[in-house]
């Protein structure tokens, strides 16, 4: 599976490190094991042979895996990092994903699952021939690869990401690539259900061997959680795929009951980076939306201006894909020219042209500006200012009264 790969293992725990090193070697990898960030930094920065991957614990005796990664990023492009963390370090691991780390895995984990994940992540070409679900960036392709890996198992899945990042698309990707694809995919948005128990009861009556997609898992109340546990104990035949925002880690830390429920599910985690961190995916999504919306216009547009694409790349997209869809749809509905322009998608950038001045108004404005500037240089002395302006003191006074200039 890992034949011929050079892997740097950074792990201070003797049992965990020894177990990983032994198994990685059995899989054909060449492994360099380091227990401190100090020695690992040199091994990664100046290796004897190119490093294919780094498996790194986040907590280390002389620093952290995050410090090691960020130090490498300051001087070079680091090899793919797979971080190992406890559930308490999920927020930190997600932050590292946003900075460019390839993935993370939480303890405890099954060795077979760990190896499959590592192998999949080091072979992103496995998803190249599939139509993109979230975009064309390396980050979107990594999500695709994780979704395909999840599709090959029956374990529950937790998709973590902010608003509008496409979590529901990832859930459907998993279902459609799995052996359950012929069975129903039933979605329950827990944030919109006034009676969660009733919604869940109705959902699993329709699922059979299909998928129950629980959106906004962090909103799951105590009664709904108890109903789910009862369904599991009664032999629930379906599969759970859930989605939530970054708040889930904090909720698990603070609520023991929810933590027990989460650990019992033993979920595979798929983090989805925000759209603002994937500018090329934002442009890709706009290009996907354009041909779908264009036929609905009375006079179809010819295309998207390059400046509009640049503006889409530069935007932070706090509302994710939903914000982009709304902006593009609104922009295409109101676009007046042949191309979709920046002000169509970002109308807040529109600057209203100033009203044109008449010749008399322009002359008065110029005179007022000149008088104020001259008075300032002459410390407000009218006689000196009039001499500089080559008019009489009386004429200057009259103009100041007319133009509203105080003496």
pLDDT single digits (tens) 125-163: 433 345 678 998 888 888 998 998 899 888 899 999 988
Q: What is the mean pLDDT of residues 82-105?
A: 72
Query: Between 1.10.1330, 3.40.1000, 1.10.10, 1.10.110, what CATH number should domain 359-403 receive?
Result: 1.10.10
The CATH class that applies to domain 1-122 reads: alpha beta
Report d(CA 155, CA 230) in Å as an integer: 18
All structural domains of the chain with their residue ranges: 1-122, 135-273, 277-348, 359-403
Strand partners, 214: 188, 242
Percentage with pLDDT > 90 across the chain: 44
Alpha helices in 11-162 (DSSP H): 14-26, 37-45, 65-73, 90-99, 111-121, 138-151
pLDDT value at 10 more than 50:
yes
Our measurement of the distance from residue 50's CA atom to the centroid of its chain's CA atoms, rounded to an integer in Å, reads 30
* Res 126: pLDDT: 39
Per-residue pLDDT, 326: 95
Higher pLDDT: 198 or 152? It is 198
Query: Tell me, what DSSP letter sits at residue 140?
Result: H
In the beta sheet, which residues pair with residue 213? 187, 241
Query: Cβ contacts of residue 288 below 8 Å, gap of 6+?
Result: none
Helices 65-73 and 90-99, packing angle to 10 deg: 10
Q: How many angstroms separate the CA atoms of 72 and 47, rounded?
A: 13
Fold for the domain defined by 135-273: Rossmann fold (3.40.50)
- Banded model confidence at residue 356, pLDDT cuts 50, 70, 90: low
Q: Does domain 277-348 have CATH number 1.10.3720.10?
A: no
Q: Provide the pLDDT confidence category of residue 89 given band limits of 50, 70 and 90.
A: low
Find the Cα–Cα–Cα–Cα dihedral 154, 158, 159, 161, rounded to 10°: -170
Under DSSP, is residue 237 helix (H, G, I), strand (E, B) or coil?
coil
Quick one: pLDDT at residue 192? 93
pLDDT band at residue 283 using 50, 70 and 90 as cut-offs: very high
Q: What is the pTM of this model?
A: 0.59
Do the domains spanning 277-348 and 359-403 agree at the CATH topology level? no
CB contact at 8 A, 371 and 396? yes
CA distances (Å), origin 97, targets 80, 81, 134, 262, 274: 11, 9, 16, 22, 11
For tokens 């042949």, name the residue: 338
pLDDT at 202: 92
Q: Quick one: pLDDT at residue 218?
A: 86
Residue 200 has pLDDT above 50, yes or no: yes
Q: What is the pLDDT of residue 213?
A: 96
CA distance 319 to 323: 5
Q: Which two tokens stand for residue 279?
A: 């500018």
């Amino acid at each position: 599976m890992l034949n011929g790969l050079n892997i740097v293992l950074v792990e201070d725990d003797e049992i965990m490190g020894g177990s990983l090193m032994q198994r990685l070697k059995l899989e054909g990898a060449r492994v360099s094991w380091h227990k401190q960030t100090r020695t690992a930094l040199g091994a990664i920065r100046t290796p004897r042979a190119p490093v294919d991957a780094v498996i790194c614990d986040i907590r280390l005796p002389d620093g952290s895996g995050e410090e090691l990664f960020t130090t490498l990023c300051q001087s070079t492009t680091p090899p793919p990092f797979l971080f190992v963390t406890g559930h308490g370090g999920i927020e930190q691991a997600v932050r590292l994903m946003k900075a460019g780390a390839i993935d993370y895995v939480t303890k405890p984990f099954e060795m077979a699952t760990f190896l499959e994940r590592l192998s999949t992540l080091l072979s992103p070409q496995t998803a190249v021939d599939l139509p993109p679900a979230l975009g064309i960036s390396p980050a979107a392709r990594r999500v695709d690869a994780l979704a395909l890996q999840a599709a090959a198992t029956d374990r529950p899945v937790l998709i973590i990401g902010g608003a509008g990042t496409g979590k529901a698309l990832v859930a459907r990707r998993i279902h459609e690539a799995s052996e359950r694809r012929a069975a129903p995919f039933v979605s329950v948005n827990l944030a919109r259900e006034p009676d969660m128990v009733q919604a869940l009861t109705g959902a699993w009556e329709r699922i059979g061997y299909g998928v129950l997609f629980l959106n906004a898992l962090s909103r799951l109340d105590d009664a709904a959680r108890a109903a789910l546990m009862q369904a599991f104990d009664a032999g629930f035949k379906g599969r759970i795929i859930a989605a939530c925002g970054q708040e889930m880690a904090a909720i698990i830390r603070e609520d023991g009951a929810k933590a027990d429920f989460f650990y019992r599910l033993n979920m595979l985690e798929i983090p989805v980076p925000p759209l603002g961190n994937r500018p090329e995916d934002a442009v890709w999504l706009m290009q996907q939306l354009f041909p779908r919306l264009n036929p609905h216009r009375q006079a179809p547009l010819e295309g998207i201006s390059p400046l509009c694409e640049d503006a889409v790349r530069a935007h932070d997209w706090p509302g994710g894909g939903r914000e982009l869809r709304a902006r593009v749809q609104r922009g295409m509905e109101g676009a007046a020219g042949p191309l979709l322009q920046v002000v169509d998608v970002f109308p807040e950038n529109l600057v209203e042209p100033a009203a044109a001045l008449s010749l008399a108004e322009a002359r008065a404005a110029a005179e007022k500006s000149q008088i104020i500037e001259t008075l300032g240089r002459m410390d407000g002395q009218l006689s000196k200012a009039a001499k500089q302006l080559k008019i009489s003191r009386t004429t200057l006074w009259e103009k100041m009264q007319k133009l509203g200039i105080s003496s």
